[in-house]
């Protein structure tokens, strides 16, 4: 999530760095966003 949103890296770049698929990166970022939204809503 940080690599994408803060560092500005694209899904493909992150996938190559972590040696995972682009789809896996998308899924993880989506999961992180969902969790953050839930946490912020509870504040």
The pLDDT of residue 21 is 98
Q: Which residue ranges make up each domain of the chain?
A: 1-42
- pLDDT tens-place string over residues 1-43: 999 999 999 999 999 999 999 999 999 999 999 999 999 999 8
> In sequence order, which residues have a C-beta less than 8 Å from that of residue 17 and are 6 or more positions away?
3, 9
Q: What is the model's pLDDT at position 43?
A: 86
Q: Is the dihedral of CA 41, 11, 25, 3 positive or negative?
A: negative
């Amino acid at each position: 999530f940080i690599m994408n949103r803060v560092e500005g890296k694209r899904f493909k770049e992150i996938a190559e760095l972590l040696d995972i698929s682009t789809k896996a990166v998308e899924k993880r970022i989506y999961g992180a966003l969902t969790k953050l939204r839930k946490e912020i809503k509870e504040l």
